[in-house]
Amino acid sequence: MHLPKPNWGWASLPFLLLIWIALASRFPTYILPQPWDVAREAVRWLADGSLWQHLRASVLEEVGGFFAAVIVAILLGTAGGLSSRFRDFISPLNSLFMAIPPIAWAPLIMIIFGLGYVSIVLVIFIAAVFPMAVTIQEGVQSIRGGEVRAARTLGANQWQLLAHVYLPASLPFVTAALRIGFSQGWRALVAAEMIGASQGIGWMVSTGGQIGNSSQVLLGIVMIGLIAWLMESFVFRRIERHYQKWRVQ
């Protein structure tokens, strides 16, 4: 009888917390606060309702930019995977925009559109759309020609091929694209808020650094990591499990 291998994933966050406590014990609180100092800072922000205000602003910006990027990336990636001519046309643009750090666009976008929601959503969109499009394109290209020929032999038209061959076979790449796009967009969001925003988690981190409040800085950093972890654990992994069951059926 083989015992199941233990999953040590549960130990990673407590281990990180212990490292934080050990490091913070070597510095004054105003330089590197302990976790409980950051917790007190969080309670202070929660008490006046400002923490939810900043969290809501960041989430709405990420949702707007990310979902717009998903729609465009699916269209570009699918078209690039199916059409060699379109792939030849779009590949230099993908390479160009992926080589430029998304935050480099932020000053120009903010000059054109001003500070606020629209500018940050555009930065998130630019950060997320091209990596996702390339990943989806690779997924569509990886589909074996034999599967397509078999479906066509059975009388499948182009829309049926998309629904019953290309979509199921490329789902792992779509999930990978969502992970990549969200993480790229989330990083760009925080950076853009640090440059030109009056609210949001990135603004919290930037303002905390300017006034020397390291507890506020760490509170923002913890929130950034926590939201990313929640998305991975409760969204992307569930999508992955769902499509794996669907593909088997």
pLDDT one-digit tens code per residue, 179-229:
999 999 999 999 999 988 889 999 999 999 999 999 999 999 999 999 998
Q: What per-residue confidence (pLDDT) applies to 111?
A: 92
> What is the band of 10 on the pLDDT scale with cuts at 50, 70, 90?
confident
- Mean pLDDT value of segment 90-111: 91
Q: What per-residue confidence (pLDDT) applies to 25?
A: 92
CB 54 within 8 A of CB 109: no
Residue 62, domain member (yes or no): yes
Shortest CA distance to 195 belongs to which of 127, 99, 111, 131?
111
Residue 42, domain member (yes or no): yes
**Number of residues that this document lists for the chain:** 249
Residue 108, domain member (yes or no): yes
- Mean pLDDT value of segment 81-87: 90
> Could you give the angle at which helices 214-231 and 201-211 cross, rounded to 10 degrees?
160
Query: 90 is in which domain, residue-wise?
Result: 38-243
Kindly give the residue spans of alpha helices, DSSP state H, lying in the chain: 12-24, 35-47, 50-82, 84-99, 106-113, 117-141, 145-153, 158-161, 167-196, 201-211, 214-231, 237-248
Residue 166, domain member (yes or no): yes
- Mean pLDDT value of segment 57-86: 93
CATH of the domain at 163: 1.10.3720.10
pLDDT surpasses 80 at 64: yes
- Phi, psi of 156, deg, nearest 5: -70, 135
Q: What per-residue confidence (pLDDT) applies to 163?
A: 65
- Total number of domains in the chain: 1
For the chain, give the percent of residues with pLDDT over 70.
Answer: 85
Residue 20, domain member (yes or no): no
Residue 120, domain member (yes or no): yes
pTM to 2 decimal places: 0.87
Q: What pLDDT, in 10s, does the model give residues 223-249?
A: 999 999 899 888 888 887 776 665 555
The per-residue pLDDT of the chain, averaged, comes to: 86
- Mean pLDDT value of segment 152-171: 69
Residue 193, domain member (yes or no): yes
Q: What per-residue confidence (pLDDT) applies to 207?
A: 93
Residue 76, domain member (yes or no): yes
Q: What per-residue confidence (pLDDT) applies to 51?
A: 93
Dmax over CA atoms of the chain, in Å, equals 73
Q: What per-residue confidence (pLDDT) applies to 236?
A: 85
Q: What per-residue confidence (pLDDT) applies to 124?
A: 96
Shortest CA distance to 59 belongs to which of 208, 213, 218, 230?
230
| Radius of gyration of the chain measured on its C-alpha atoms | 22
